[in-house]
Amino acid sequence: MFVSVSRLRIEVGRSDELVAAFRQRAGLVESHEGFVDLQVWRSDRDPAEVLMVSRWRDKDDFREYMRSSDHQVSHDRMDPLLRRAVKLERLESMHTYEVMAE
Amino acid sequence: MFVSVSRLRIEVGRSDELVAAFRQRAGLVESHEGFVDLQVWRSDRDPAEVLMVSRWRDKDDFREYMRSSDHQVSHDRMDPLLRRAVKLERLESMHTYEVMAE
């Protein structure tokens, strides 16, 4: 399984707003081939650090989605003020190695 | 949900060995109260970077496990040579925010 982790940094005090925006998102990704799940993680030590973690059957499925109009639409509907308050610090591509049945 | 991420760095060429060690582990953690799942992720760009990701109902469940003899036993049964080849670079504590049903 392929995992994409976007490590985001959000302006102090806007962390809740970012989490809420994810909850209210369009949900277009769910219908894409190979999509497994999407979670948002927030650091306990530093609430300005928010990780968007999505899992896919394989890397090509993720690439297809990134090239799709749905991805563009999802990004464009984000509040421009909130968008400017978020910085992508790091993008990680990983593969999972199951070590137990989920 | 609580997430613990251990970012490990393994000596070049021993990455497969580390993944195999996780697969052959004792599996003691599964029976612990509040345990959700455990995955091992390996970076696509840098195979020396391996993440151990465990999810728990809450942080206290994770703490209880870390204090348990099962955790000690799991750690102690690791090959000492392999153990010396692994460095814990960073330990992250996060909380998840579900953004879709899994």
Residue A56, pLDDT score: 95
Domain B2-92: which CATH number of 3.30.360.10, 3.30.1950.10, 3.30.70.100, 3.40.1280.10 = 3.30.70.100
A98 contacts chain B (CB < 8 A): yes
Taking the CA of residue A96 and the nearest CA in chain B, the distance in Å comes to 4
A31 contacts chain B (CB < 8 A): no
| Residue A81 amino acid letter | L
Q: Would the CB atoms of B40 and A97 count as touching at under 8 Å?
A: yes
A39 contacts chain B (CB < 8 A): yes
From the number of C-beta atoms within 10 Å of its C-beta (0-12, 13-18, 19+), residue A10 rates as buried
The first and second tokens of residue A42, run together, are 């927030």
CA atoms within 13 A on the CB side of B27: 7
- Give domain limits for chain A: 2-94
Q: State the pLDDT confidence band at A1, using cuts at 50, 70 and 90.
A: very high
Architecture per CATH, A2-94:
2-Layer Sandwich (3.30)
Residue B89, pLDDT score: 93
pLDDT digits (tens, 9 = 90+) for B33-61: 999 989 999 999 898 999 999 999 999 99
Considering chain B, what is the average pLDDT of its residues?
89
Indicate yes or no: pTM above 0.80: yes
Residue B101, pLDDT score: 39
Contacts of A92 in chain B (CB under 8 A): 43
